[in-house]
Structures are given as structure tokens and as C-alpha cells.
Amino acid sequence: GQQVMQIPQYQHVQEGEDFTTYCNSSTTLSNIQWYKQRPGGHPVFLIQLVKSGEVKKQKRLTFQFGEAKKNSSLHITATQTTDVGTYFCAGQGAQKLVFGQGTRLTINP
Amino acid sequence: EAGVAQSPRYKIIEKRQSVAFWCNPISGHATLYWYQQILGQGPKLLIQFQNNGVVDDSQLPKDRFSAERLKGVDSTLKIQPAKLEDSAVYLCASSLSPSFFGSYEQYFGPGTRLTVT
């Protein structure tokens, strides 16, 4: 079945450093979504990418969708303590949305 | 706009007991999802409803888990009997109906943290 893998599983950075998480799907996706889950909270939608090679920006966050529509990345420039949390990608396959295991970001102020 | 409501927020039961969770989606959202999130993992889809019909329940352990969505609005998820490995957060989410080109963003409720002892 469809699998979505994320790396790294954990990332600890100093405040102000950049952060990137990568997402890979075993199958071609129709779209990919990114969610953020704060500690003790629930996933909150960040963005959806649909087109091959698409790049979208939200302030310090940059999201990319691969040309083959099987991988994606999220890059945060100059992290802030408010960026702490777990970032999940979720790939939409033929039948359903499958979540990756997430990348947990912690930040040293 | 009210968000997705879930109750209870926390539940502690002994193994072999039964438990039920309730979810009220955002008004107008035809699609409702139940996820299981084990600590340190991503949400795992248990069941997806479109109105009151089941779209996907391929990962629902049907020997112990059941779910229904009467009248296409509220939904309940039941576990009977519970096992230790069922300890997790159970998340309910809702969205507009998926379009031909893909899915819409999902809005998650606060979840129910279940501990089975």
C-alpha cells in the first residue's frame, strides 16, 4: 500500500538556524498537504501543493513539491521558538490521505 | 466558526472494557475522519465517512472497533473490548467533500487521549 516517509524524525536547532524536513511517497501523489502539531495539540493545516514542481511560501516557510509528485520538502528560514512542534506531510494517493510519521522540531532559544 | 468538537478529552479504562468517543464536525463538512495517533507517530486513518456512508475502513480493526455516522453529522467510534495497544489519541477531522482533483484541508478536533491499563 501507499507509504509516506519523512526524515529526519527529530531535529534540534538553535534559534535563528534554518530547518528542513523531507517527505517521500512510495507512489505518485495527486497532492500533498503539510500540517503542524504543537506539543499537546492537534494537527493544523498549513498548505496544500498540487502541481508538479510547485513552490509556495508562507513568510519564513517554503514548501516544494517534486517534479515527479512523489516527494516534498518544508524549509523554515531563521527558526523562532514559535516554530516548535511536529511537522507532518500527508500525501493524497488514489484512495486516501496518508500521513508521514512527522519531524519533531525543538529549538534552543 | 465553531471547530470540530470531540468528547471526552481523556479516558482511562481497563483492558477488555468498552469505550466510546463522540465527534461533531464543522457544519457543512460532508467528510468525516477518525484517526488513531500513537505517541511519536503520525495520524493513522481508521475510517472515512462521506455523509453517512463509509468511504474507507481498510485500517479499522473491525473485530473490536466500530463507527457510525447517523444522519451524516455526528459520529461515534467504539472500542469493545479494549486492548493495551489501543492506548493512543483518537482524532476526529472533517473536511468539505473531496473534489475530483484531490482533497481539501482537514480540520482536526482536540482529540481524545485514551489510556488502557
Chain B residues within 8 angstroms (CB to CB) of chain A:
35, 40-45, 48, 56, 91, 93, 101-103, 105-111
Task: Tell me which of A5, A6, A42, A44 to substitute to probe the interface with B (most B C-beta atoms closer than 10 Å).
Answer: A42
Tell me how crowded residue B40 is: count the other CB atoms within 10 A of its CB: 11
Closest of A74, A35, A76, A28 to residue A52, by C-alpha: A28
B102 pLDDT above the threshold of 70: no
Residue A95: per-residue pLDDT: 73
Point out the least confidently predicted range of A93-97, B17-21, B39-43: A93-97
* Each residue's pLDDT tens digit, A28-53: 999 999 999 999 999 999 999 999 99
Please report residues of A whose CB lies closer than 8 A to that of B93.
43
Backbone angles phi, psi at B70, to 5 degrees: -70, 140
Please report residues of B whose CB lies closer than 8 A to that of A31.
101-103
Residue B32: per-residue pLDDT: 95
Structure confidence at residue B93 as a pLDDT band (50, 70, 90):
very high
Residues in Cβ contact with B62 at an 8 Å cutoff, skipping those fewer than 6 apart: none
Task: Tell me which of B31, B106, B112 to substitute to probe the interface with A (most A C-beta atoms closer than 10 Å).
Answer: B106
What nine digits make up the cell of A3? Answer: 507509504
* Each residue's pLDDT tens digit, B22-66: 999 999 999 999 999 999 999 999 999 998 899 999 999 999 999
Pairing of strands A19-25, A31-37: unpaired
Residue B96: per-residue pLDDT: 87
